[in-house]
């Protein structure tokens, strides 16, 4: 189901929201990978992240994402990181764990993409830091909120079936 949502978000462009920043868009395409990692584990999270990365590469509107290493590689780790963040803090509280998993998955995506963009010479460090502030912070907040709301709903559904 989350893989299908990721495909719809990627194929329609709904997962890439136009945003006035150096990146040109904010994304919600990482949310299915985060939720897949939390609900179904790291392999499912990796596969959904792969879907995100492939669409990011295929729909590239700037040279950064036309580079498959930048478009795909960091996205593979979103669901994995979210899974381990959730599992390692689950004993604290489910809500805290879901929020943390959403934030960690987003940070892994943003940090991975921007680090590779700097290392591969697409962005100077100052521009990467600006994108991290203008895109990364709002994306972290959105992912934390949606991971909490949707994550709780999916976990409750899973436990009741």
Phi, psi of 102 (to 5 degrees): -65, -45
Q: CA–CA distance from 130 to each of 30, 126, 136, 152 (Å)?
A: 20, 6, 9, 33
Q: Distance between CA atoms of 108 and 40, rounded to whole angstroms?
A: 19
Topology (CATH level 3) of domain 1-9+32-160:
Arp2/3 complex 21 kDa subunit ARPC3 (1.10.1760)
CA-based R_g, the chain, Å: 15
In the chain the first and final C-alpha atoms are separated, in Å, by: 16
Q: What is the mean pLDDT of each run of 10 residues along the chain (161 residues)?
A: 82 75 72 94 96 90 92 97 96 95 97 97 95 88 92 89 75
Residue identified by tokens 């780790």 is: 77
Q: What is the pLDDT of residue 23?
A: 59
Q: What is the pLDDT of residue 127?
A: 92
Q: What is the pLDDT of residue 12?
A: 81
| 142 DSSP assignment | H
């Amino acid at each position: 189901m989350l893989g299908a949502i990721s495909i719809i978000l990627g194929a329609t462009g709904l997962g890439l929201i136009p945003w006035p920043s150096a990146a040109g868009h904010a994304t919600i395409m990482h949310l299915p990978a985060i939720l897949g990692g939390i609900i179904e584990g790291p392999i499912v999270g990796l596969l959904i992240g792969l879907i995100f990365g492939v669409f990011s590469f295929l729909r590239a509107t700037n040279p950064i994402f036309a580079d498959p290493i930048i478009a795909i590689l960091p996205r593979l780790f979103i669901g994995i990181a979210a899974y381990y963040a959730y599992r390692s803090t689950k004993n604290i509280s489910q809500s805290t764990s879901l929020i943390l998993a959403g934030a960690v998955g987003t940070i892994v995506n943003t940090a991975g993409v921007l680090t590779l963009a700097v290392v591969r010479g697409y962005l100077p460090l100052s521009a990467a830091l600006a994108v991290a502030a203008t895109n990364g912070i709002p994306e972290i907040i959105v992912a934390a909120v949606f991971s909490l709301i949707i994550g709780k709903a999916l976990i409750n559904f899973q436990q009741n079936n």
